[in-house]
Each structure stands twice: as C-alpha cells, then as structure tokens.
Chains A and B, each alone.
Chain A
C-alpha cells in the first residue's frame, strides 16, 4: 500500500514532466520525520494532515526554484539533479535528527490487533493504512476523471506538449503536480514511518523499489501503478512468508545438497533469500522486453 502511494506520486511527476524524481523516496522520508516531530509535540492526527502538506509545499518550492532552471539542460540533467537532491536530503535529515532511528511510533489507540487470519495478526493500524491508501486512490481516481484539472493532468500524462500548446499555464501545473506528488510520498511516510522505522536510510531502502513499481506498472498509468504495487507487494510477502525452497528443482536435476561452490549456494536458496532480488530482476526484464510496462501508454 505504501508502494502504491509513493508510486502514484512518482507516476504523476514522471508522466507530467518527464522527470524521474530520484528524490521521491526522500520526500517519503521527510514525511515520516515531519510526522514524528509534529506527533511528538502535538499529536499523530494533526501530523497526518500537516506533514504531507509541509512536504508538498517543500516539493513545490523545490520545483519552482531549483528544478525549473535545470529543465532546459535536458532529462539527464534533471535526473542528476534529483539524484543530488536525494543525497542532500538524506544528509540534512542526518544533520537535524541524527543517524539513529527516531522513536516515531504507532499511536497507542491503534496499536491493537484487529483480527487474525491464516495465522497472521492484523493490527488496527494496518487496517487504517489500507483504508487511507484506498481513500487516496479513490480521491485520485475521481479527481482525475471528474474534474477539469484532472482532465488536464490526464491529457498531460500522455501528451505534455499538446497541453502546453493549448494554453494552460504549464509551469504552474508542473509546480502543483510536483508538490502533490511529493505530498503523496509524504503521506506514505506519515503512515509508514512508524511501522518501518524512521531513520535516514529509509529512503535508499524503498526508493529503487518504487522505480520498479512504476516501470512494471507502466508509465503514464496510475492504474498500472496500483496493480504493480500490489503485485510486487504480494510477491514479496509471499516469497518471504512461504519461503519456498528451490531444493526440489535441483534434486530433480540430480544435484546433491552438499554440492560445491556456486551450486552449493544456489541449492540452498529459498524464495525468502532471493526476495530482495526479485523486483530488480523484474525491472531489468521489463525494461528490456517491454519498456512500456504492463499498462503503460508511453515508452520511458
């Protein structure tokens, strides 16, 4: 679910502006940290509202004052800029809050088990996370399909130049899009930071996976982002939870358990062990064979 929130923001930014926001996960991190600060002093619920807004404003400011001048140097330069931005944000976060994880916790009111299913406990908080994500997805869906600005955004998803030619104030739309995209990442940070742990390394952990999601789902497609994030999330969880061993395949091929060398390593593999690999394998395969992704309307 977190993946979807972040992926939707990134899709919006990438599809609208052609900028692959390397720093997207950094805004996710900022959301978590802001929420921590606010919840520390005021409370969780105000943080839920305020933190994403702050992140969004920060994002819009970054677009307006920093990213915009880089536009004219081309996509590679923009990518380099957002890459540098990610670097700087991580360092700044370390500077302000230190390297140790901060105690951003799930509010006590929701830290209870709602129900159990198939041997796994589901806490009320996770339900809450799910609900928020669904609510945002629904809001995005209606916002994009029923409103005028939504129409413009959808048009810009596939034909950005046309939209500019039609007279819309593209710079302002860009600024707001970037802001909203970052705010979405911020929301993910707010609701996810207390579960995953809020520390400076969280951006680099989640960042690449979000890229995988939007590439696999297809660029320019929010629905694709949803499906891909579900897919990757489920695959990941299943791989770890069920932990299939590859051993049977190898024995079928006549390989011994005590095999030497590389084979020895591979024989002992389980899906849990290679779970970290899978998204990137998917990314590489997708980019090579079907750069449009599953539902994409545009090539990368």
Chain B
C-alpha cells in the first residue's frame, strides 16, 4: 500500500513538473516572453525591468528554476488590468465557479441517472433509443449554444429568467443547465453501462430468485452498486466543470474563473491566462490522484497491480 501511494504521488508530482515545463516552454517559444508578460504599451525601461526580473539573459534552466520557485511560493504575478496579484483574483472568483459547478452537477445527475437507469432496465426498448438520442444530442450541442438558446427562450420570449449576471438564485439556473447539459449525457451513458453490468451479476439473479419485487431489485440492490462509478466520474467532472465553464460563463456574464480567463484574453492580460491554465491543470492532477488513492483504499486488488 505504501509503495502504491508513493508511486502514485510520484506520478502526480512528475505530471506537475511536466505541466510547468510545458507552460514555461510555450511562453518562450514565440521568442521574447517579455512581450507577453509586459503590459501593452509599456516603456522600454519597463520591458528591461521585466527582463531582469525573469532573468531572460540567463540560461534556460536557471529561468525555469526561477519560474518554478515563483509557482511554489504561489506567486503568479500581477494582473495588468486589475493591478492586483492574480491569485487573489482567482480565489475571489472561485466560489462563484464552484456554485455554478455544483448546481450544474445537480442538474446533470438529476437528468443523467434516472434516464440511464431507465435505458438499462428497458434495454433496446423505446426508452433506450430515446436515451441514446439524448446522449448524442448532448454531445453534439455546444454548451454555449444551449446557453444562447435558453436566453432566447426564457429571457427574451418568456421573460422569466435574467439573461446575465449574478446575485439571485434565478441567475444561476440557466448557466448551470447549459453547463450540466453536456455532462448529463456522459453521466447517462455511464449509468446505463454500469447498471447493465450490475444487472447481469449473480447477486441480482439471486435477489430475483428470492422473489423480490422488480422495483426493489433495481431500486435497492442494483442501483446502489451501479452508482459508485457514476459518482466517481461526477467528482472528477465537478472539477472539470470549473475549468471548462469559460464559454458558458462568458455567455451569461457569470463572474467565475472562466469569465476571468475570458477577460484575460480580452484585455491581453497574460498573467491571468497563464495562471488559470496552471491552476486548472493542478486541480485536475490532484483530483485524479485523490480518486486513484481512494479506489486503492476501497478495492485492495488495485494496489497490487503493476
């Protein structure tokens, strides 16, 4: 177990090193990173100051060392536009992103799990067909387009919901639905396949042989076990949602991390863009590690693999 944990943590750390190196290399690939890292329209003296600060005249390895040192001290630089440390901005927006992600996750599970179960119980039937169609549509309709359609229908035609901004519970509904839409399809697919697997197992046959009513077999015995992989995926997806919400947050002017990234592009605020990417990657590496370790605790077979 100890070896397994060490190995996994090692991999995660290695991933983080590769990540930071990737970002570092790409920023320098275009030639002169001071162009990116200095404010648009800065004076010659400012550019030179940045150059010495980043040590751009020093060897690449030294530069990388300085870069990593900055990251480890959680020093992500200052935003050109807001003139505050980027990390502060990020943390300020994070709760909004989490709120959006949680509501979106609720939507996606409320849609995905019941429809997945129905599709599995009535496999190859009408419900299964409808479920497949729904899953395909979910994967084919870009979330920002769903968002725009929602605005058109609920804000412009019906006038029921506010089209953008934040503040009241009503504001979160449409962006959350648009974001959850895509994930609902993924959760439906997984619920269906996981449910089918469980329904084919011996203990379900036994439950049926015992004469338990079908509702109890599915609702109690099968459902609980089929849910484990779905909830794991949901955990990973929750973190993913925070990081892929850029377009949805832009459509609805939702003040989350994604919107910060969009502002970063719009105002040519490079430190903001860089930080959002790095922190997004870190979050996902950490979550993957957590899931791996959790699984190893639950299922001893995994520990001895490789």
A, B from the same assembly? no
Q: Which residues of B are in contact with A by a Cβ distance under 8 Å? A: none
Q: Which residues of A line the B interface, CB within 8 A? A: none
